């Protein structure tokens, strides 16, 4: 799984309330995307292009277990690379098939708008603008398989462990 795209930067301790605010919680998953980061970056969702990459600081995704990762995926973002990712949010990323990787030092290695190349199979992250290369934390093979399968529900359906969704 490889991604090459423009970078959007979000700093330390970005919580799930900023990603998916409570006022959007009971809307449809597609309607929820209009509210992503609305509190701290109004209008940002209108600027994002399919495949764009979020580069985050420390503890990205802290807070509740709301399905904020699904909103990032539904917005069309390619992936997330952050210095560190909150454990619960990281697992939601995997479950909702939104690729996320920890990469210490990544936040300081990019300016917003630069181009990132991220390879989840090798754990490599490269700033294509400055040619700076970093090593991220590779996902365990089972979690990478889960991402490639489209998330937890499609994988369980494929394996016949749950009934297909309508």
Q: What is the pLDDT of residues 101-111, one digit of tens each?
A: 999 999 999 99
Confirm if 114 and 55 have CB atoms less than 8 A apart: no
Q: Return the sign of the alpha-carbon dihedral for residues 128, 74, 65, 159.
A: negative
Going along the chain from its start, the domains and CATH numbers come out as: 2-140 (3.20.19.10)
pLDDT at 23: 87
pLDDT at 149: 87
| The token pair that represents 74 in the structure block | 């539904």
Residue 154: count other Cβ atoms within 10 Å of its Cβ.
Answer: 15
Rounded to a whole number of angstroms, the distance between the first and last alpha carbons of the chain is 28
pLDDT at 161: 83
Low-confidence ranges of the chain (pLDDT < 50): none
| Whether pTM exceeds 0.85 | yes
Residue 37: count other Cβ atoms within 10 Å of its Cβ.
Answer: 22
């Amino acid at each position: 799984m490889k991604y090459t795209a423009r970078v959007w930067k979000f700093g330390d301790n970005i919580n799930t309330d900023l990603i998916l605010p409570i006022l959007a919680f009971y809307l449809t998953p597609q309607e929820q995307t209009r509210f992503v980061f609305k509190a701290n970056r109004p209008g940002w969702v209108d600027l994002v292009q399919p495949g764009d990459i979020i580069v985050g600081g420390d503890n990205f995704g802290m807070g509740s277990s709301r399905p904020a990762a699904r909103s990032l995926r539904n917005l069309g973002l390619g992936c997330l690379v952050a210095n560190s990712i909150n454990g619960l949010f990281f697992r939601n990323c995997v479950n909702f098939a939104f690729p996320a990787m920890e990469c210490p030092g990544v936040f300081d290695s990019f300016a917003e708008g630069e181009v990132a190349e991220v390879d989840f199979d090798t754990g490599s992250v490269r700033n294509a603008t400055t040619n700076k290369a970093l090593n991220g934390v590779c996902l365990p093979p089972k979690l990478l398989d889960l991402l490639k399968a489209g998330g937890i529900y499609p994988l369980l359906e494929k394996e016949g462990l749950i009934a297909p969704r309508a």
